[in-house]
Amino acid sequence: MNARFAIGKVAGALITLGFVLVFNFFLFRVVQTDPVATLFRGRNIPQERLDQLRAEFGLDKPLGGQFVDYLQQTAQLNLGLSYQSRQPVWNEIKSKIPATVALVGTSAVLSAVIGTALGVAAAWRRGTKTDYSITTSTMLFYSMPDFWLGMLLLVGGAIITGIFPVGGIIDAGSSRAGIGRLLDQAHHIALPALTLTLAYLGEYAIVARSSLLETMKEDYLVVARAKGLRDIKVRNRHALPNALLPVVTLSAINFGFVLSGAIAVETVFSWSGLGKATSDAIRGPDLPMLQGLFLLFSAAVILFNLIADLVYGRLDPRVRT
């Protein structure tokens, strides 16, 4: 890979991350000027205790001093203390990452594989009932708000039929271990993973369909057919490898966005991951927790955009020039 291309992409990602750091600090302080007073609103707490809490959280310092402390602490992976739990924010976030990665990873793989297969099938049968039905159904799910789709699946799959649990990661009070625990978790993850999978199917289907149709117009495929190659071989050996380049990029980018976009779905299904933690922090409001989560989500999007750029540059040398 061209070293200048890679260095340029990495430098761009670092500059974006630096902007996010600055924006992350000032955003919440503009929106919430006194989070301690808001957090304890309606409670009969002496002013001395409120001042003590502001000092504990470093809110008694001038804005410039708070910003310097914020940069130093972030560099040390110290995101402060949660206003609600009084625990280090990074420890709180770290404990919830596996649940979100399991949910997002499962749905991202399923939506990419199934959506791409549907898009290829629709492109190969362009203008037929198969094409119309695939395009219409996937875009229907894509147009639905994910929290609304989640509530529909929750009502149908858990409340009415009782096939799936209403929420949570495992059954309350369960003492199962090993395979039994994994099966219990798989039972609980089914509905939220299905929600995110259906919500992102349309994106992959449309991109795969459009890319394959565009690739099929290339001259080298016309020559391949003229040589007598069967259509199935032309598609699988020559068209698909090039048509799937945008899908590879979309997969990398989407993982970062889905990681931050699972807030509503995790809240609907009481899935104790980063999304539900964000919802709880907003209700607090828990300023350090919100800052830490926003920074993590932004860094994930930046990282996977960088991976997508580097992978695409590797697969298609034309973008490096």
Please check whether residues 230 and 308 belong to one and the same domain.
yes
Please check whether residues 147 and 279 belong to one and the same domain.
yes
Res 238: pLDDT = 65
Residue after which a domain boundary falls, among 27, 43, 75: 75
Residue 281 lies in a domain: yes
Please check whether residues 46 and 131 belong to one and the same domain.
no
Please check whether residues 33 and 134 belong to one and the same domain.
no
Q: Cα–Cα distance between 8 and 237 in angstroms, integer?
A: 33
Please check whether residues 128 and 176 belong to one and the same domain.
yes
Residue 90 lies in a domain: no
Q: What is the CATH number of the domain that holds 315?
A: 1.10.3720.10
Residue 81 lies in a domain: no
**What tens digit of pLDDT does each residue of 120-130 get?**
888 888 888 98
- For 278, the domain range is 95-320
Res 56: pLDDT = 67
pLDDT averaged over every residue in the chain: 80
Please check whether residues 124 and 38 belong to one and the same domain.
no
Residue 86 lies in a domain: no
Res 118: pLDDT = 92
Please check whether residues 31 and 105 belong to one and the same domain.
no
Peptide bond into 285 cis (omega under 30): yes
Residue 22 lies in a domain: yes
Residue 84 lies in a domain: no
Q: Cα–Cα distance between 90 and 2 in angstroms, integer?
A: 36
- Residue indicated by tokens 């020039």: 321
CB atoms within 10 A of CB 223: 12
Res 136: pLDDT = 92
Please check whether residues 176 and 35 belong to one and the same domain.
no
**What tens digit of pLDDT does each residue of 254-270 get?**
777 666 667 888 888 88
Residue 232 lies in a domain: yes
Residue 87 lies in a domain: no
Q: Cα–Cα distance between 254 and 116 in angstroms, integer?
A: 14
pTM above 0.85, yes or no: no
Q: Cα–Cα distance between 272 and 288 in angstroms, integer?
A: 19
Please check whether residues 38 and 108 belong to one and the same domain.
no
Res 24: pLDDT = 81
CB atoms within 10 A of CB 119: 29
Please check whether residues 123 and 44 belong to one and the same domain.
no
> Quick check: 312 pLDDT over 80?
no
What's the token pair of residue 26? 């000032």
How many domains, in total, are found in the chain? 2
Please check whether residues 155 and 257 belong to one and the same domain.
yes
Please check whether residues 166 and 70 belong to one and the same domain.
no
